[in-house]
Amino acid sequence: MLNGQLDAHHIIRFCSLGSGSKGNATLIAFGETILMIDCGFSIKETIRRLALKGIKPEQITGIIVTHEHSDHISGVAGFSKRFAIPVWLNRGTSLHKKSESIPHRQVFNSHHPFKINDFEVQPIPVPHDSREANQFVFATKGKRIGVLTDVGQITEHMVHAYSGCSALLLEFNYDTQLLMNGAYPYSLKTRVSGDLGHLSNEQSVKFLKNIESSQLEVLAAMHKSEENNCDTIIESHLQAFTKDKTIEHLIATQKEGFEWRQV
C-alpha cells in the first residue's frame, strides 16, 4: 500500500510491473489515484506482479491503453472485467478487434488532454505500426511524468511534449549493431528499425539531448529487447547522459519491471 507519510507531500510515485515484448504494465500513483498504463499480462500474472509492488487490483483507478499490440493490451479486457475498472483508449485503438471485449470504456481524443482525478493526461500521437498509437505525459501539482515506448522515430511534437518532465520512462529497444548482426529474419530487422518500429539506443540518446531535461530526476530505460540489446550498452548510454547531473537512471526488466520511484 502507498505510504501515508509520502502521500501527504504531493509526491508522484511510479513503477513498472514488467517491460518488453512479452508484456508491459506501468503504474503511476498520486494519493489514492493509481493509474495502470497498459496490461500485457494475464489476470493471474498481473495480480502477482501488483502484489510484489504492494498493490491490490481493487486499488487501480483506471487502465490507460497506448495501442493494441498484444504486449500492451492482452490483459486489459480480462482485468477490467474482473475488477470493474474503467479503461481509457483512443478511437483508433477502440475500433480494433482486440478491444471489442473491453468493458467500461472511455474513449479519448489523441489530440486533447483529459483528466482522471488529479492527473491531467496528455496523449501524444506517435509513429508506430498500430492503428492509432499514442503515449502519455501525466501531470499533477506542477510535475510531469513521461512514458514513451513503441515509437519508430522522433517527431518535433514529441520533443516538445516531453520537455520539462521530472521523470521519463523512455524506450531503449535495440542496439543497431546487435539487431543487424543478430538472428532476426531480415523482415523483422526492417520492421523493428523502421520508422513505425521501435527506438534504438542511439535514437533515444538523441531524443534525450533534444528535450529540455533540467528538471529530470529519474530516467528509466524501457521496453528493452532481450535479443538485440544488452544492459552494459544501455548503461553506458545512460551514464554518458546523466554524468554531471543528479538524475537517477535504471533499466526496466521484463521479469520485474522496476521498483517504486518517486518525484
Give the footprint of Zn ion on this chain (CB under 5 A).
69, 71, 150
Residue 130 vs 213, nearer CB to Zn ion: 130
Which one, 26 or 140, has the nearer CB to Zn ion? 26
Question: How near is the Cβ of 47 to Zn ion at its closest, in Å?
Answer: 21
Instruction: Specify the length of the chain in residues.
Output: 263
* Smaller CB separation from Zn ion, 139 or 154: 154
Select the residue whose beta carbon is closest to Zn ion and give its number: 69
Bridge pairing between strands 218-222 and 167-171? parallel
Residue with smaller CB distance to Zn ion, 216 or 222: 222
Q: Considering the complex, what minimum distance in angstroms separates the CB of residue 180 from Zn ion?
A: 20
**Residue 32 is placed in which grid cell?**
489514492
Would you say 59 or 66 has its CB closer to Zn ion?
66
Q: Is residue 252 within 8 Å of residue 16, measured between CB atoms?
A: yes
Diameter of the chain by CA atoms? 53
In the complex, minimum distance from the CB of residue 230 to Zn ion, in angstroms, rounded to a whole number: 19
Rounded least distance, CB 256 to Zn ion, Å: 17
**Cβ 93 to Zn ion, closest distance in Å?**
11
Distance (Å, whole) CA 134 – CA 109: 10
Q: Are strands 62-64 and 33-37 parallel, antiparallel or unpaired?
A: parallel
Q: Report, in Å, the least distance between residue 67 CB and Zn ion.
A: 6
- In this structure, the dihedral spanned by the alpha carbons of residues 191, 197, 198 and 201, taken in order and rounded to 10 degrees, is 60
Please report the beta strands in 31-116, taking only residues with DSSP state E, as ranges in sequence order: 33-37, 62-64, 87-90, 105-108, 114-116
CB of 233 to Zn ion, least distance (A): 20
User: Quick one: which H or E segment has residue 258?
Assistant: strand 258-262
- Name which of 150 and 175 has its Cβ closer to Zn ion: 150
Q: Round to whole Å and give the CA distance between 87 and 81.
A: 10
Instruction: Give the nearer residue to Zn ion in terms of CB position, either 12 or 63.
Output: 63
List, in sequence order, every beta strand (DSSP E) within 109-201.
114-116, 119-125, 134-140, 143-148, 167-171
| Torsion, Cα of 208, 211, 212, 215 (10° steps) | -50
